[in-house]
Amino acid sequence: MCLDMLRHKKKVLLLLLLMATGSIIYYLYTLKLERERDANVSSTTSRLEREISELQAVFESEVIPDLGALGRPARGNWTQEELEAMATSQRETGYNAWLSKRISPERTLYDMRHRSCKKLEYSLEKLPSVSVVITYHNEEASVLLRTLSSLRNRTPILLLREIILVDDGSSSVDEKLNDFIQIKFLNMVRQHRIATQVGLMQARVAGAQLALADVLVFLDSHVEVTKGWLEPLLDPILKNNRTCTTPIIDTIDYENFSYRRGKPSRGFFNWEFNYIQLPLLKEEAVAMPAPHKNPIMNGGLFAIGRQWFSELGGYDKGLKIWGGEQFELSLKLWLCGGQILEVPCSRIGHRYRDGKFQIHYTDKDKKKENKIIAKNYRRVAEVWLDEFKDKIFANMPHLTVLSVGNLAEQRELKKRLHCKPFKWFLDNLAKDFLNLYPIIDPAEYASGVLQSVSSPKLCLDRNESRHEHPKLSPCSSDHVFPRAEQHWILSNRRELRSGLYCLEVRNQGKDVRIFQCHGQSGNQFWSYDSKTRQVIAGQMSNFRQCLEAQPKTNSVTASVCDPKKSSQQWKFGYQNNQRLSHFWDNVKTQ
């Protein structure tokens, strides 16, 4: 019995000893693992740090601290060489890409929201989170990085589920940039590449299909969001899930990247499918900064429920590259049971390009790009404008000779969603539009040639070959119905137009150019004084200039008005004196 107990004790002791040794070995082993892991982590961290600093050197080493901070114009004492580099980059891209590289992607912006916007409070838990979809084709790295940084820095993290970055067939893949984006923005950005360019419409739809959040925010790749931009865009969608919201679009200057205030407005298109901005209705102006109805969105920046976007079928699949898609989506939204609200408390800056730079996306093939846009316009008119399409076709007859492709799917969708006719849109959203852009145009103020009084053999010519500066050329024999390049109309919009082109004044005067009519007065506003025979640029009475013939160079300038100078006198082929006598009725001149 005793011996038995003793043997048992021994066993227990042995067991305890074994257990203790086991624990010590296990402890030592975990200690070793931990050490190894620590070593690994620190080597990964240092690798990551190294990679970041290497990539930073590639993309951010030229940044000049504080340049363009608070959205101020990015100015510096540039050398001649630097100025030349800027000019070259601007010629090639339509904006100052050279300067963009020197402005920090994290630059600050002045908070220019309306006072009462700053006081609004939102409960973030109640607002839906968003997938931001950005598509781009050959976007400049520094511009894209600033877009992304502004999103990260000024969006509540709780609301930003992801940024989906769709590379729409850019001509080359920048692996380094892609890596930098992954590292810099960690898991915030999901990148997706479409190998062959499909155009912004289908690229956006592809991005939307990857999205996980309930609300989609579409943005161009060259924007900067400002403080508090997102919450007010989401609030109206929360209240009505068939609402699409748009921010006020501020302007980022294409030359010096200054951030300028944009105006609240109601978007629309004119009968030539130019996007135009109408003033707010009286009651809307009084209620500022409350959201107001926006008939047609500008196109690049908007928020919409993912489900609603998909019910609307995204964009028409027949629309290619760019152009007209903002009209299609806006009309579809309003006519098929939704609404678009502009939200003045939300502001996003958009960098436009120099107006001279027109061809972006089709390897500099202007004809090809124009044809694609024209076809897009034709599709939108055919599907959504009903009998009013003829008004567009009368102004743009070239649309009617294009093959428009298959519209069955669009017509089917229109039926399925019980969409209303375009007449409803005009009746409900466009009363003021019809006053400004009537369906039946009254007679023009004057038309035919514009003949110089000082050099009566010469007439103003839109200079078909270059479409930039007009010239003086020998007058057509028929002054009332001259050849197209000399046929000018002092139109009801008070512009001097020849076909789709208008005379405009650039660079604070001096420079007279031909540009597509934009229908927004401003630098395309012209009047004719039948007494002095002056052709006068400018609506406001304190800033007017007169068209002056320069027969030595066969050109024209906009010069200080002098009624005595016969070089500033012109004769129209036909003058409607009755209408001219009412030219200034209801026109603001102060």
Q: How far is CA 293 from CA 201, 296, 350, 581, in A?
A: 24, 9, 21, 37
> CB-wise, 169 or 337, nearer to ligand UDP?
169
* Structure tokens, 539: 């609506």
Q: Which stretch binds Mn ion (CB under 5 A): 134-142, 155-163, 213-221, 260-268?
A: 213-221
- Taking CB under 5 A as the criterion, the residue among 139, 167, 220, 316 binding Mn ion is 220
**Contact partner at residue 360 from Mn ion, ligand UDP, none, CB < 5 to 8 Å by partner kind:** ligand UDP
Binding site for ligand UDP (CB under 6 A): 135-137, 139, 168, 197, 199-200, 203, 220-221, 299-300, 321-322, 360-361
> CB-wise, 263 or 510, nearer to Mn ion?
263
Q: Which of 413, 272, 254, 428 is nearest to 340 (CA)?
A: 428
> CB-wise, 56 or 170, nearer to ligand UDP?
170
| Distance of alpha carbon 522 from alpha carbon 563, whole angstroms | 23
Work out the burial of residue 507: count CB atoms within 10 Å of its CB; fewer than 13 is exposed, 13-18 middle, 19 or more buried. Answer: exposed
CB of 152 to ligand UDP, least distance (A): 18
DSSP run (H or E) holding 42: helix 2-60
**Does position 313 bind Mn ion by CB under 5 A?**
no
DSSP run (H or E) holding 219: strand 215-219
> CB-wise, 113 or 137, nearer to ligand UDP?
137
Binding mask 445-484 toward Mn ion (x if CB under 5 A, else -) reads ----------------------------------------
CB of 199 to ligand UDP, least distance (A): 4
Task: Note whether 229 and 160 are within 8 A (CB).
Answer: no
Q: Which stretch binds Mn ion (CB under 5 A): 197-205, 254-262, 294-302, 307-315?
A: 294-302
> CB-wise, 71 or 300, nearer to Mn ion?
300
CB of 251 to ligand UDP, least distance (A): 11
Residue with tokens 């145009």: 441
> CB-wise, 348 or 549, nearer to ligand UDP?
348
Residue with tokens 């850019």: 170
Task: Note whether 305 and 224 are within 8 A (CB).
Answer: no
Q: Which stretch binds Mn ion (CB under 5 A): 148-156, 212-220, 403-411, 468-476?
A: 212-220
**Does position 262 bind Mn ion by CB under 5 A?**
no
CB of 267 to ligand UDP, least distance (A): 12
> CB-wise, 268 or 525, nearer to ligand UDP?
268
Strands (E), 469-554: 471-474, 488-490, 496-498, 501-506, 511-516, 526-529, 534-537, 545-550
> CB-wise, 223 or 549, nearer to ligand UDP?
223
Task: Kindly report whether the peptide bond that precedes residue 289 is cis, defined as omega within 30 degrees of 0.
Answer: yes
Q: Dihedral of the CA atoms 122, 126, 132, 133 (nearest 10)?
A: -130
**Does position 300 bind Mn ion by CB under 5 A?**
yes
**Does position 199 bind Mn ion by CB under 5 A?**
no
**Does position 323 bind Mn ion by CB under 5 A?**
no
The residues, any chain, with a CB within 8 Å of residue 461's CB and separated by 6 or more, are 470, 471, 472, 473, 485, 486
Per CB under 5 A, residues contacting Mn ion are 220, 300
